[in-house]
A and B are shown apart, each in its own frame.
Chain A
Amino acid sequence: MIRPLSVLIALNALSFGFAGPTGDEILKKVDQNMFSERRIAVARMIIHGRRETRTVESKSWQRGTNEAYTEFLAPAREKGTKMLKLKDMLWDYSPSTDRIIMISGHLLRQSVMGSDLSYEDMMEDPHLPNVYSATVVSRDTVGGRECWILDLKAKRQDIAYDHRRIWVDKERAVVLRQNLYAEGGKLLKTIDVREVMRVQNAWQAKSVLYKDVLTEGEGTEFLVDSLALDAPIPDYLFSKAALRR
């Protein structure tokens, strides 16, 4: 009984080891598809809270891994609020107070506009291979698409999520589902890509449901209304002075 099972396990391991790509290779492929040196996106967050549903609109500019600038467009209460990320620093500008507040420490764990995303999520390095090492766990189907299931383990300790399990579309190299875990193994967040779109030969997420499993509510839908990759972005945006413009 033991011998045939051992052989089966060994064959299975061999099939993953030699017949398919390694976890790091898949992750690199995902990174090549999804990452763009410059991106400008207009998006809506539909936040399904416990009491009501709110929609927050924003426009964001991203350059490389270290620079990002976001301006909130709606609702009226949030209009004109801006966020700037430069390397590992994050600032928030509130037009009603004309103050630029650096977000650090425990504030980073706070939710962005009441959504299921935290400021920490926004500070993440978008290059997953930079911070995680990956191993292939198995295969699955998500929304009719064949996927690799990868386990990602953080290479450093200062990462918000110690490990992740991701489902990668085999053909399009886009992540369709993610489960994010704390160091102790507790599930913290789930991310489900509901719709993808093709932008300049790259497959990108168009509709994503983020769910912080530690909070009540039905999650946050993140809908990308427009996305421009590798479009020119003026330098002045990535400075604190731009927050008050």
Chain B
Amino acid sequence: MIPFLFKGLLRDRSRSLFPFLTVFAGVVLTVFLHAWLNGVLSSLLESTAHYSTGHIRVMTKAYAKEADQNPNDLGLLGIDTLMTELRRLYPDLLWTPRIKFGGLLDIPDEKGETRAQAPVSGMAVDLLSPDSPEWRILNIENAIVQGRVPRNRGEILAGVDLAARLGIQPGDTATFISSTMYGSMSVMNFVIAGTVRFGIAAMDKATVIADLADIQQALDMQGGAGEILGFFADDLYHEDRANAVTAVFNACHRNDPGDSPRDTGAFSPVMGTPRTQSGLSDYLDYVDVFSGVIMGVFVVAMSIVLWNAGLTGSLRRYGEFGVRLAIGEEKEHVYVSLQAESLMIGFAGAVAGTATGLAAAAYTQAHGFDIGSVLKESTMMLPNIIRARISPFSYVIGFLPGLLATFLGTTISGIGIYRRQTSELFKELET
């Protein structure tokens, strides 16, 4: 029966082509949209992890309370001991200390007077150790636009838009003005080793990257850091593992007196995940719900369209059913054959739609869309190039609605077959 019905569908395109195209288009859109939203969210999480929160973050309790203000006066001191402990207990994670800081970058003229000045936000990372994971995490070498990577103490990298605004080139001297962790004014000269394009508008226009030891000296934080970030070796965030590591570490350090006799416990280390410490928790929940609602609405709308296509197809074939019943075919047989046809169309449309949707998503995953012009004034950690991301769920998100919606539409509209009266057939055919 199946080959017979299949031949019928191929030979009578009016019965198959429109429903097939409808299923196909709906599934393509569903699969692509899902992969796109998944890509945007993953890009946001990845950028936030690389440039801000890591997959796991260790700070002092006092720092964690005001982490969005980078309060380095409340930072970690004596990090060597803590780094040793973290590397020993969690060798599957890469641990790296960082200091996030703010200040002014002052560019002198030939007389030493201020020629240009701009506020900057900076990131101090381990740039000079040969085994530093930061080169890979921040993708620094590929981000260089002019000059070279820092090789010596006292060299920094400047965001490409910041460098253009200040009129600085590699080799120029810049004076960094900020506050030490004790609140004194800090003034330190740096040489611009190169300019970098991070691909994140918010960073390109205001960020400098310096070596950790230089900024420890500038901010009077010898042996200290604002935070220690942990990254999973595969660079993917594993929430369950992160939560487990965090729970054990925090339990061990719950009664830690910290490094200051004045604020017992306030300067003891505390570990957190991006969800708990970056302020992203509410945002991620919102994005999850919002993308779920978008996908839900889209799938329901597509199902209604496909259902409607099934209804239209069945109604259009009202006369055919009358003839088939008149020549003695059982109503149940007509109904089941109609359902089988809809399943075949749904299956074909869903397979073709999923394949095409995945192909489009794979192309966008490889090449991405440049939305840099939209993000010029953005302060979000969102890369200028947004790529789709295919997940296992992408394979079924469009397939099941595509297959089932036409089937359901046909099943409901096909009930009319049981009410079909053959006595009225000839009268209908005459008209």
Contact = CB atoms under 8 A, between A and B. Distances in A.
Given A100-B112, A114-B183, A115-B183, A52 B260 contact: yes
Interface in B162-184: 175, 177, 179-180, 182-184
Contacts of B220: 77
Contacts of B184: 77-78, 111-114
A112 B180 CA distance: 11
A47 B180 CA distance: 14
Nearest to A97: B189
A54 interface: yes
A112 B113 CA distance: 22
Interface in B67-124: 73-74, 104, 106, 108, 112-114
A contact patch SS: loop
B183 A102 contact: no
Contacts of B73: 49-51
Interface string A99-131: 111100001001111110000000000000000
Size class of the contact patch on chain A: 20 to 34
Nearest to A53: B262
Interface string A41-68: 0000001011110100000000000000
A92 interface: yes
A94 interface: yes
A96 interface: yes
A98 interface: yes
A52 B263 CA distance: 10
B187 A97 contact: yes
A99 B175 contact: yes
Contacts of B180: 114
Contact of B112 (A47, A98, A115): A98
Nearest to A216: B263
Contacts of A96: 187-189
Contacts of A78: 184
Contact of B267 (A51, A97, A110, A113): A51
Nearest to A215: B183
Contacts of A51: 73, 259-260, 262-263, 267
B185 interface: yes
Nearest to B263: A50
Contacts of B114: 101-102
Contacts of B259: 51
B185 A99 contact: no
Contacts of A101: 106, 114, 175, 177, 187
A111 B183 contact: yes
B104 to A, nearest CB: 8
Interface residues of B, number: 25
B329 to A, nearest CB: 87
Interface string B176-219: 01011011110111000000000000000000000000000000
Contacts of A54: 182
Interface string B298-318: 000000000000000000000
Contacts of B263: 50-51
Given A97-B189, A102-B114, A47 B106 contact: no
A97 B260 CA distance: 32
A54 B220 CA distance: 13
Contacts of A113: 183-185
Most chain A C-beta atoms within 10 Å of own C-beta, residue among B177, B259, B263: B177
Given A51-B73, A51-B263, A99-B108, A110 B175 contact: no
Nearest to A113: B184
Given A101-B114, A101-B175, A92 B260 contact: no
B179 A111 contact: yes
Nearest to B176: A97
Given A50-B263, A51-B260, A52-B260, A97 B175 contact: yes
Contact of A47 (B113, B182, B187, B260): B182
A47 B73 CA distance: 14
A99 B179 contact: no
Interface in B371-410: none
B185 A92 contact: yes
B262 A50 contact: yes
A101 B104 CA distance: 11
Contacts of A111: 179, 183-184
Given A51-B73, A51-B267, A101-B114, A110 B260 contact: no
Nearest to B187: A94
A240 to B, nearest CB: 10
Given A96-B188, A111-B184, A114-B180, 4 more contacts: A51-B73, A51-B259, A97-B188, A112-B184
30 contacts: A47-B183, A49-B182, A50-B74, A50-B260, A51-B73, A51-B260, A51-B263, A52-B182, A52-B262, A92-B185, A96-B189, A97-B187, A97-B189, A98-B112, A99-B108, A99-B112, A99-B175, A99-B187, A99-B189, A100-B112, A101-B114, A101-B175, A102-B114, A111-B179, A111-B183, A112-B184, A112-B185, A113-B184, A114-B179, A114-B182
Interface of A: 47, 49-52, 54, 77-78, 92, 94, 96-102, 107, 110-115
- CB-based closest 10 A-B pairs: A114-B183, A94-B187, A114-B182, A111-B183, A113-B184, A97-B189, A114-B184, A51-B260, A97-B187, A99-B175
